[in-house]
Amino acid sequence: MTATQAYSELVRRSREAALLGSAASLLAWDQETYMPKGGGEHRGEQLALMAGIVHQRRTEPVIGELLAVAEASELVADPESPESANVREWRRSYDRATKLPAKLVEELARTESLAQQAWVEAKPKSDFAAFAPWLEKMIGLKKAQAEAIGYQEHLYDALIDDYEPGAKVSELRPLFVRLRERLAPLVAKIGAASRKPDESMLRRDFPLEAQREFGSKTAAEFGFDFERGRLDVTSHPFCMGVGPGDCRLTTRYDAGYFNDGFFSILHEAGHGMYEQGLEAAHYGTPMGEAVSLGVHETQSRLWENRVGRSAAFWKGRFASAQGAFPSLKGAGRDAFHFAINAVAPTFIRVDADEATYNLHVILRFEIEQDLLTGALPVADVPTAWNAKMEELLGVTPPDDRRGCLQDVHWSAGLFGYFPTYALGNIGAAQLAAAADRDLGGLDATIEKGDFGALREWLRDRVHRHGMRYRPGDLLRRATGSALDPDLLLSQLEAKYGALYGI
């Protein structure tokens, strides 16, 4: 068999596995949106079967043989070619997947489905005890996964690598220390400031249909293509790329609070535009996949915060908001801008402002490590969570619904996912600064409602490359610098210094 034939066969097999995976993704999306409550156990069996089939397809011994032929050929001579990138990432995926027993993969998928149903029931009741057995089981499975994959430094590294290839605890800790050292004093200064926003204007009557229309219109103007995507309602907003031409956004609404629905839509639209910006011709191969969740998060945070919370955006959009929501008539634009950028420690991560958000991530980063190493027993999670909330944010959740039960991630087995949110915030600041420099200033185009230049800049620098480069290399090529929290911290200090007069 020639190298060209081996590569073509790898592409065929990869696309076939991706199609099966996309069917499982659609089952998972339905579970989070429209599936009746009674379907949970059956859905778990469906997802377990699909996971087992996909795992089997991705770990067949012939794939290793085909990879060996391709790796020894001129196809991989240029490390930046699509062929080289695909072979490199196929090898990485194959080596990881072949270390995992099929029974473990199936049991993880089954438990994820059932645990999420248990979480959905436990959260509104603030009943951590009901969810605890599922968390215990999930931790055991994730530890087994990490041990099977292997690691050099920390068990947690094996799990982070699923979401942010190459990331390690030893590298993340110093980044998070730098964030904590400057964010905590900033939040304290803001808390002591005499100038305060009037957040009451955000807690008025905001009809749900008007929210849907206003948010959808804004997402479309940003560049999310609703001919190739849709928006639905769920309990925990997410974006799911099912495949070319099918990207699903979800959000949640509160008829008495503006921020919840609107900024969730902008956030998920950022993810969605990344999915829609991947080249369809490469579907089913690494070149047609997002490089990492950290990079994915740069897109959502950039559109949500740098664009959606900017003064420039609301200069061009506030009159439209007043037209959509009569309750905003009489409110001042500058006062509204200050309100949507209010800083105050909150119990809920997804409701957190830019200044406190990364402190929520640090809390989860620390607790997850302790759970996986056994330093923190599952039964003690609520107590440990509340203590860290008090330490980092100065607040204590009144119940577990607004504490350790607030996130879907643990029920879905997403240990190692949370650090990517902080990496995304850091990278978003660097990408926005680079785009501002390359495009000659973002604010003027944002105020005019011209979002195309930024969208195409991101498509050219990030989206179209798929997994051609590793996350750090992609960011360095796009911005000219390595991942560094100092720019984000300086931007936050300047922004909130101006708003709060500190």
CATH code: domain of residue 189: 1.10.1370.30
245 and 384 both lie in a single domain = yes
Q: Is residue 490 part of a domain?
A: yes
Q: Is residue 158 part of a domain?
A: no
265 and 394 both lie in a single domain = yes
Q: Give long-range contacts, CB 8 A cutoff, 24+ apart: 490-498.
A: 491/429, 491/433, 492/183, 492/186, 492/354, 492/355, 493/182, 493/186, 495/341, 495/354, 496/186, 496/190, 496/341, 496/343, 496/355
The domain total for the chain is 2
Last residue of a domain, one of 150, 179, 213: 150
337 and 473 both lie in a single domain = yes
Rounded to the nearest 10 degrees, what angle do helices 208-222 and 258-277 cross at? 30
141 and 185 both lie in a single domain = no
185 and 264 both lie in a single domain = yes
Rounded-to-integer distance, Cα 412 and Cα 138, Å: 8
pLDDT of residue 432: 97
304-323 exposure pattern, b = at least 16 Cβ within 10 A, e = fewer: bbbbbbbbbbbbebbeebbe
Both structure tokens of 233: 């309602």
Q: Are 267 and 303 in contact (CB under 8 A)?
A: yes
130 and 174 both lie in a single domain = no
Q: Is residue 157 part of a domain?
A: no
379 and 417 both lie in a single domain = yes
pLDDT of residue 236: 82
pLDDT of residue 351: 87
Q: Where do the H-state alpha helices sit in 333-403? A: 333-340, 354-373, 381-393
Main-chain phi, psi angles of 96, to 5 degrees: -70, -45
Both structure tokens of 241: 């790329």
What amino acid positions are annotated as catalytic residues? 268
342 and 454 both lie in a single domain = yes
Last residue of a domain, one of 123, 150, 177: 150
| CA 299 vs CA 29, 237, 251, 380, 430: distances in Å | 21, 16, 17, 35, 11
Element at 188 (helix H, strand E): helix 169-192
185 and 128 both lie in a single domain = no
Instruction: Please list the pLDDT of the chain residue by residue as tens digits (502 residues).
Output: 899 999 999 999 999 999 999 999 999 999 999 999 899 899 989 999 999 999 999 999 999 999 999 999 999 999 999 999 999 999 999 999 999 999 999 999 999 989 999 999 999 999 999 999 999 999 999 999 999 999 999 999 999 999 999 999 999 999 999 999 999 999 999 999 999 999 999 999 999 999 999 999 999 999 999 999 999 999 889 999 999 999 999 999 999 999 999 999 999 999 999 999 999 999 999 999 999 999 999 999 999 999 999 999 999 999 999 999 999 999 999 999 999 999 999 999 988 999 999 999 999 999 999 999 999 999 999 999 999 999 999 999 999 999 999 999 999 999 999 999 999 999 999 999 999 999 999 999 999 999 999 999 999 999 999 999 999 999 999 999 999 999 999 999 999 999 999 9
Rounded-to-integer distance, Cα 429 and Cα 481, Å: 12
Main-chain phi, psi angles of 233, to 5 degrees: -110, 140
Q: Is residue 54 part of a domain?
A: yes
137 and 82 both lie in a single domain = yes
pLDDT of residue 251: 96
Q: Is residue 432 part of a domain?
A: yes
Q: Are 219 and 229 in contact (CB under 8 A)?
A: no
pLDDT of residue 451: 98
69 and 210 both lie in a single domain = no
Both structure tokens of 32: 């989070």
88 and 228 both lie in a single domain = no
pLDDT of residue 410: 97
Global pTM value: 0.93
What's the domain range around 116? 3-150
